[in-house]
Every structure is written in C-alpha cells, then in structure tokens.
Amino acid sequence: MLFVVNENSGNGRGKRIWAKVETRLRSLGTEYDKIVTTSESEALSQVGERMARGKLKAVAVIGGDGTLHGLLPLIASSGIPYGIIPSGSGNDTSRAFNIPVDPLEALAVILAGHTRKSDLLESVTEKGVKQHTLTAVAVGLDGAVAADVNASRYKKWCNRLGVGSLAYVIGLFRALARYKPRSLSVTIDGTKHEFAQGWLSVISNSASYGGGLRICPQALPDDGKLHVCVVHSCGVARILMIFPTLLTGSHVKKHRYVTILTGTSVSIGASMSMLAYGDGEPSGETPISAVIRPRQLDFLIAASG
C-alpha cells in the first residue's frame, strides 16, 4: 500500500495529518510505502516508478483535490484502488464519496479496501490540453476565482484558520470586481444552447466544487453522465443573490438565470477566451470539450458508502 503525502496541502495540514496516520499504521503493524512530495511532477515520477516495480495493493493520497487530480493520468484505468485522506482546502472529492474528515477514520476506510467504480470527466482544449477530472471543470467566472485563489496569500490564512472554503468566497468577490460576462455557447450531445450574457459554466462529475458549493446537486460520480450548470443573463447583484443558494443547491429551482443540462459530451465556446479549471487545477481555455468516461477509477470508500 502506497501513501502519497502532499505536505503543503492545507497550508501544512498534510504534514500534520500524515504524522497521525503513520503513527496509527505503525501501531497496527501495517505494511506500507510512502512518497513525500511537494510537486505534481515529483509525485507522478515516483508513483510511476513504484507501479513499474510491480502491482500495488492501493494508492492513497494525503492531500486535496489537486493532489488527487495530478495522479489521475497514472491511476485511471489501472485497476489500482485509489483513495484519499483529505487535507486540502476544498476537499470536494472526499465530500462526493463521503470520506470522513477525521484522518484516522479516513485511514480506516483505506485499510478496509472497499471500492466504488467512479466515472472520470475527460476534457480537451482546442490547443490539445487534455486532462482527467474527478469533480468538475469550471469555465468562466469560477475559473477566474480558482486562478485568484491559487495565486493568493489569503488561501494560506484561511487554511491556517481551518476555514479553507472561505478562500473561494473571498476569491469570488475579488473576481467579480474585474470580470465581464460574454456570449457563451454550450453544445451537449449535439444540441447547441446560446447564452448572450454568460458568467460561468461548470461541467460536473460530482455534486459540489469550490469547497462545498453544490453546483450540480443531482450529479453522482458513477451515474455515467456529465451535468452542466450555466449562470447567465444577469448582473453582479443577481450573481451575489444566487451565490448563497449554491450552498444548498437550491439555485437550480429558484432562478431563471441558471440553466442545468445533462448528457455525455459537452463543448463550450465563448466570444472571448475563458479560463478553465479542473479539480481546481488549470485546464486551459475555451473552446473546451469534455466527455464522460464511465467506471474508470476504483475509488476506496466506506463499506456502506
């Protein structure tokens, strides 16, 4: 069993959580290997080496959505069970699979070895940037929010205070101060939808993104579908009214400025390029296309999950 530890996740929370986890592993007498890393390239290289040596029992990440995302090119379709002990800012993947927040409870899930087949979202840009994503690809305003959060100092402070999700709220207000909506086209399963004033569009494989915002509340990581949410045809004041409803997912019922679409293939274009972020990591710019890849990942979950 291989543990990949991102010590920098959650502003150093990953390092502290791994210390607890390793103590428990030793007390249980569990045989394990570990990779301690601070970069995606280093993690990819070292995990690739371990996979080349022989079959791994499982790979578990101590980190956040970004750390999980970085290893998907290796783990997808490998048949190796994949899991997480969450220590990031948003932790939307662990939320989607009902992974406990407590690290020792999450470790118990890993050690039990129960898996659930998960779909993957596969995206590609016009420039050939191709990625697998577990949670969602955010395009437009929310892509701008992700970019602001990732480059900020306030993210570190929010993590230090144990309120990592607050960073995305701060990022929203900062992005709104300079972001302009643009005409947007979303084609899903061959049917084109036009939006004259598109703020954002999110292609989801799970219900939440951005640290618990229930952008597509009906989405499940194993339903074989892509769920798309488009926010459009409104001003900044309306965006601020819609935002709180994302916490419960009620935006899908209460606002004519929100359109929900479902299918297996999606393409998004805009009058001006829009940033795209998958699992909170850069995925290029529009135009961007995505398809669902069913049952590509054996994700470690609780037996009743």
244 by DSSP, 3-state: which? helix
**Per DSSP, what are the bridge partners of residue 120?**
293
pLDDT band of 98, cuts 50, 70, 90:
very high
pLDDT per residue over 226-261, tens digit each? 999 999 999 999 998 988 898 889 998 867 899 999
Instruction: Look at residue 5 and tell me whether its pLDDT is greater than 70.
Output: yes
* Chain mean pLDDT for the chain: 90
Query: What was the pLDDT predicted at 304?
Result: 66
User: What SS3 string covers 223-266?
Assistant: CCCEEEEEEECCCHHHHHHHHHHCCCCCHHHHCCCEEEEEECEE
pLDDT per residue over 67-93, tens digit each? 899 999 999 988 999 999 998 878 899
Q: Are 216 and 292 in contact (CB under 8 A)?
A: no
Q: How far apart are CA 225 and CA 205, in angstroms?
A: 7
Give the number of other Cβ atoms within 10 Å of residue 56's Cβ: 17
Q: How far apart are CA 211 and CA 234, in angstroms?
A: 24
Instruction: Look at residue 289 and tell me whether its pLDDT is greater than 60.
Output: yes
Distances (CA, A) of 294 to 39, 46, 67, 149, 213: 28, 27, 21, 31, 24
**Per DSSP, what are the bridge partners of residue 196?**
none
Question: What's the mean pLDDT in 160-171?
Answer: 76
Question: What's the mean pLDDT in 268-289?
Answer: 91
How do the residues of the chain divide into helix, strand and coil, expressed in percent and rounded to 5?
35, 35, 30
Query: What was the pLDDT predicted at 254?
Result: 67
Q: How many angstroms from the chain centroid is the CA of residue 271?
A: 26
Query: What was the pLDDT predicted at 53?
Result: 86
pLDDT per residue over 124-153, tens digit each? 999 888 999 999 999 999 888 888 887 888
Q: Are 215 and 202 in contact (CB under 8 A)?
A: yes
Domains and CATH numbers, the chain: 2-118 (3.40.50.10330), 121-295 (2.60.200.40)
pLDDT per residue over 174-211, tens digit each? 888 888 999 999 999 999 999 989 999 999 999 998 88
State the sign of the Cα–Cα–Cα–Cα dihedral 185, 257, 212, 303: negative
